[in-house]
Amino acid sequence: MPPMNLTRRFIRPVASLSLAAAALLSSVSTAAADPGDLAPTDAPFSVIDTAALPLNDTARWETVLGHDSSAETLRGITICSINHVPAPVDLDPRSRAATPAFTAQLRPGGDPRGWAATVSAAGYNGVAEASYALASYRRYLDACRTAPETVAPYVNAAVGTSVLDPTEAHALIETHDAWMEVFAVATNDALVETVFTHPKGGPIEFTYNPAAVFGALKMADVGALARPAVNPL
């Protein structure tokens, strides 16, 4: 098998955290100087901090204001299913969500370098159910049904969880026609994921800050994602 021409670059979190702190302090100062800015508004809430997501340095992901579609399963499971239709026999009934899985397409304002991306979430009744669902999600992607017979040895090995935080999972998955980068977290009441896909063929570059991505997923507004997007696809 020819070597995969995919470059994955990790970004140190210090700079991103410093920028986030500076932005927070700036917003607090502005609010204190002009209390009128705190008046109630009917403007929709942003679902997730898109600046923290992979490739944002060039893609400049636009604000996510709701979902574009809903389904019975999260996007990662759909992509790892034959014809993108999960077989009921392959799904763990104990991991069934309390809500549909709501998915928003990430829309680039710049150059996404050939990657397409989504943010999805499904609601669960408590952290125990969400954590079990994450474990089931990992098992499904480990056995990705759309993976080729022979895959690169450093992908599809496991959708691993962090030793320090078992509520986080991340993996590079090879399917028959694409590369898929998956990040997922279990929260107190949801399973939240972001999925990036790129057709095979390269060179391919993927830049991300793991801590920033997981932080954004954990802070995602699942209630906002459950609303239809202002301009659905």
User: pLDDT for 76-109, tens place per residue?
Assistant: 999 999 999 998 888 999 999 999 999 999 999 9
Domain interval for residue 188:
6-39+46-225
The band of 50, judged by pLDDT with boundaries at 50, 70 and 90, is very high
Task: Tell me if 99 is assigned to some domain.
Answer: yes
Q: Quick one: average pLDDT of 7-23?
A: 41
For residue 204, is it within any domain? Answer: yes
Least confident of 6-15, 16-25, 221-230: 16-25
Of 152 and 55, the structure prediction assigns the larger pLDDT to 55
In a domain, 232, yes or no: no
Structural domain includes residue 196: yes
Q: In this structure, what token pair is assigned to residue 88?
A: 């009921």
Is 148 contained in some domain?
A: yes
pTM of the prediction?
Answer: 0.79
Please state the φ and ψ torsions of residue 136, each to the nearest 5 degrees.
-65, -40
pLDDT score recorded for residue 219 = 96
Is residue 231 in a domain? no
* Inside any domain, residue 230: no
**pLDDT, position 38:** 32
- pLDDT of res. 154: 57
- Tell me the per-residue pLDDT of 24-45, one tens digit each, with 9 for 90 and over: 233 333 333 333 333 333 456 7
pLDDT per position as a tens digit, 116-148: 999 999 999 999 999 999 999 998 998 888 888
pLDDT of 194 higher than 90: yes
When pLDDT is cut at 50, 70 and 90, the band that residue 166 belongs to is confident
- Domain-embedded: residue 102: yes
What total number of domains does the chain contain?
Answer: 1
